[in-house]
Amino acid sequence: MKTSFILSAADSIRDAILDHESELESLDRAIGDGDHYINMKRGAAAITELHAELTSLTADAALNKIGLKLLSTIGGASGPLLASFFMSMAKVLKEKNDDTTTTYAVAFVAGVEAIQQRGKAGLGEKTMLDVLIPVAQKFSALASTNTDIKAICHALMHTAEEGMLATKALIATKGRAAGLGERAIGHIDPGAKSCQLMINAVCNQVLLSQP
C-alpha cells in the first residue's frame, strides 16, 4: 500500500461524509447523541489537513499518525475506536512489510478486532461492527483464495451495504440507542452507515486505480 493511495482514499472518505450530511444527521437524531456527523466531519478534515506531513511517510507510519490524530480530534466514543483501527492496521503493515492483498486483509481484520476489544461489542448489537465484522470476514476469505481485487471490492461494498441495512431490524445494546429498546428498531445505525460510506469510498478508489 502506498501512502499516496491512503491520501487519495482519505479525500474520498471526506467527500462521502460531506455528501451524506443530511442522512447521517437524520439517522443520529433518531437514535444517537446528535454529534456523529460533526465528529466524522471533524475527523475527516483533520486527516486531509495532515497530507503534507504524511506524504513522506511509509504507509504504516502514515496510518499510525492518522490514528493518533483521530484520537485527539474526534469526541465521544468514535475517536478511540477509529484510532485503534488505524493503529492496529499500521502495526500489521509494519510487521508484514509486503504489498499483498492478503496482508491488507490481515491488517483490516486486526483493525476491526481492535474496535471490538476497545468497544466491548460484537455482531448484532446495532453498531458500526455490524458492517465491519462481515466485511472483515469477507475480505479475509476472498484474499485467501487469491480473488481478483476488483471482485473483492465489489463483494466488500455489497457486504457493507447488507450489514448497514441489517441494523434497521436490530435492538441496540450499546450507546445512547441502547436506552431506546424496541423504539430503535426501524432505524439504521449512524455508525454503520458511516462505515458503509467509508468502505465504498475506499473500494471505489481501488477500482479507479485498476487498469
Q: What is the C-alpha separation between 79 and 57, in angstroms, rounded? A: 22
Domain count, the chain: 1
Task: Give residue 187's pLDDT.
Answer: 85
97: left (phi over 0), alpha (psi -120 to 50) or beta: left
Task: Give residue 183's pLDDT.
Answer: 66
Per-residue b/e over 40-66, b at no fewer than 16 CB within 10 Å?
bbbbbebbeebeeebeebbbbebbbbb
Task: Give residue 160's pLDDT.
Answer: 98
Report how far apart, in Å, the C-alpha atoms of 72 and of each of 39, 56, 77, 97, 168 are: 11, 22, 12, 27, 31
Q: What is the CATH number of the domain that holds 179?
A: 1.25.40.340
Please report which residue ranges of the chain form alpha helices under DSSP H. 3-19, 21-31, 36-48, 51-54, 59-73, 78-96, 101-119, 129-144, 149-166, 190-209
Task: Give residue 31's pLDDT.
Answer: 66
* Per-10-residue mean pLDDT, the chain, length 211: 92 94 86 79 92 95 95 80 95 92 96 93 92 97 94 97 94 68 80 95 92 75
Residue-level length of the chain: 211
Domain containing 117 equals 3-209
Task: Give residue 178's pLDDT.
Answer: 62
Give this prediction's pTM: 0.91
Q: What is the C-alpha separation between 107 and 129, in angstroms, rounded? A: 16
